[in-house]
Structure 1
Amino acid sequence: MKNKLLKVITGLGLLGLALSGCGEDSREKDSYEAIMGKGEIIMGLDDTFAPMGYRDSSGEIVGFDIDLANEIGKRMEVNFKFQSIDWALKETELNGGNIDVIWNGYTITEERKEKVSFSSPYLDNSQIIIVLKDSPIKNKADLKDKTIAAQQSSSAVDAVMADEENVIESFNNGEIVQYPSNNDVFNDLASGRSEAIVVDETLGRYYMKQNKEIEYRVLDENFGQEEYAVGLRKSDDKLKQAIDENLADIKEDGTYDKIYDKWFEE
């Protein structure tokens, strides 16, 4: 009886290892051929991140990254499907196969490089500090004992955490108050619950332009320069190459500049 039980347990163990191996092989497989076969790339985004990718007044997803992706999709002869995701779970969604790319003002960071592969960078950005116009805050030093907010799992949080002066320790409670979306972050500042916020410059300046009824001010100091790129699974070398080649082409032939001018007037 013991021998039979041992054989059953051993057999189940081997089956588990085999299934585990199959799953691992599937995750490590380049998905380019499968994507081209179905003619669709699923793009994960935070649909509140204007002007990169967001829902307009009619509920349609629009933005700079959307136009850029659609142009590259046209050249690759595939369609982009835009899928809203929880931004805090973006790498999990990508590596779990629920989306094919992260493309929504996605900043290159060392931490993210451990989880994903990045395309060539296509847009410069910085992490700016915004306060209300009449705020006494003039620089980073003035953030001491103040309540500071940013989007959860964003590069804004990463930039503050990586600050060489370790300024976060001087914040109220030694932390950043984090919200699911940048809309929540701006609302927190406007209501006075936070006294300063840290956001991507592209989003921040666009938001302020669209909400002129509230007077904001951008500090001269910021939390560093960075670059946006497309995030892909580390196994998707062919897809990365295709996106990189088409990004280079649209920059060379002037299409990129036309899309840029549409979304960034200043």
Structure 2
Amino acid sequence: MSHGWVGTSKTGARKGSRGMARAVAVAMTCGCIAGMSGCTFLIPSRAEVAPKEVLVRVTTPAVSTEGVLAVALDDANAPLGMNDAKGDLTGYLTDVAYALGQRLGVSVEFVTDETPSDMASSSDADLYIGAASDSDADKVTVVGSVLHDAPALFAKGAASAPIDSSALAGTTVGVQSSSAAQDILTACGIGAEQKTFSNANELFEALDAGEVDYVACDSAIGGYLSRAYPDISFAGALDEPDSFGIALRSTNDDLQEKITEVLDELQADGTLDAVYRSWFGGLPVDLSDMLLDGITTSAEREQQEEQRRAQEEAQDEDQGADDTDSNGSATLEDPVVDSEAEAL
């Protein structure tokens, strides 16, 4: 998932850390003074506030460092992971990681120079967040789902997603030049004029200004940017979504169990949804049923191509068999025998 500029600056690979969120209870007493209006606010001192009890649910060797969950992610993949103008690590996946750490009772440290496959070796991280579901390998297991991502369509005005692909005929669709969304849009054979832009920000500015009827881009980018435009909405997915979860070492059964357990809790109590909404607004969490009506997916096109190749191979084999039969028949004909040789 690589995207055009979305308003953040990357300052290079780095490691960041942040303690888990701390809730401070503030008691406030309002006493009305006779003959006076208003209230007196009494704020307790730090010593008077009972510390919040934290249940530590994971320890070494499930995590490399006691009390710390080391999380690897891609910090060049806005808005999932990115550096803000101050160089601080932020993004949807960082907030999910903080939620995981808080629920596990540990702090979170980030590692930004590793990949999901690094989990199989001597990685500095305990897990990788944002790994594709097909990243499973002999020594790496991907659990849960924290994000669906797909090439998607956005429209100005309320759109009853998913719209029918026939509605795109004769329209102008803004796309980022040389992007995956442009490739998908072209492969779908949709009869719409394409207008290219250099980055995703320009796409949504053009849509808001009425320069294009729709924009096609990555769903996460679109959901993130559309929050700034109250009249822009998600119109549907242009392909089946990819699912992204958490990659861990296959041998780390304890951490796998705890991460799966905590993810289920975060989904059940609405925490994960709240984090998602803060980053992606009204973009549907599950894009599986959001494919544009009447569109052909990449998998379907690949299947059609495989069938075409199989038919061609079968035809070639049939032609080869016909040629063999033809040559064989020629050899079975009565030979022309030289009369002198026959006489001998």
Compute the TM-score of the two structures, normalised by the length of structure 1.
0.54
For 2:128, the equivalent position in structure 1 comes to 102
Which residue in 2 is equivalent to 1:59? 87
Which structure has more helix as a fraction of its residues?
A: 1
Structure with higher Rg: it is 2
Cα 1:91–1:227 shift into 2, 3 Å: closer
In 1, Cα distance between equivalents of 2:93 and 2:277: 13
Q: 1:186 to 1:259 in 2, by over 3 A?
A: closer
- Mind listing any 5+ residue stretches in structure 1 that lack a counterpart? 1-30, 131-137, 140-146, 151-155, 161-166, 171-183, 191-195
1:117 aligns to 2:135 (yes or no): no
Amino-acid identity (%): 22
Structure of greater relative contact order (alpha carbons < 8 Å, 6+ residues apart): 1
Choose which of 268, 278, 297 in structure 2 pairs with 1:262: 278
Q: Deviations over 1:232-252 (max 9, x none)?
A: 122222111111111111222
Q: How far did residue 72 of structure 1 move?
A: 1.6
Deviation, structure 1 residue 128: 3.5
CA contact (8 A) 1:122 1:228 kept: yes
TM-superposed CA distance for 1:37, in Å, is 4.9
CA change 1:235–1:129 in 2 (3 A) is: farther
Match of 1:149, as an amino acid? Answer: S
Alpha-carbon distance in 2 for matches of 1:220, 1:34: 40
TM-score, normalised on structure 2?
A: 0.43
Name the CA shift for 1:260/1:218 in 2 (closer, same or farther; >3 Å): closer
Amino acid at match of 2:95: D
Post-superposition Cα deviations, 1:117-162, rounded to whole Å, max 9, x if no partner, equal 11122333323479xxxxxxx69xxxxxxx7335xxxxx9xx97xx
**Cα contact 1:149–1:185 (8 A) shared by 2:** no
Counterpart mapping for 1:42-53 below 5 A: 42-53=70-81
Unaligned runs of 5+ in 2: 1-58, 155-167, 170-176, 190-197, 205-214, 283-344
Residue aligned with 1:122, SS:
strand
Partner residue, 2:104: 76
1:220, CA displacement in angstroms?
5.9
Counterpart residue number, 2:259: 243
Q: When the two structures are aligned, how many residues end up with a matched partner? A: 194
Q: Give the 5 Å matches for 1:94-173.
A: 94-96=119-121, 97-104=123-130, 106-109=131-134, 112-114=135-137, 116-128=140-152, 148-150=178-180
Q: Which runs of 4+ in 1 moved over 3 A?
A: 127-130, 147-150, 184-187, 196-199, 207-210, 216-221
What code does the residue aligned with 2:127 have?
A: V
Letter in 1 for 2:66: K
| Code of the aligned partner of 2:124 | N
Task: Say what the alpha-carbon RMSD is for the aligned residues.
Answer: 4.5
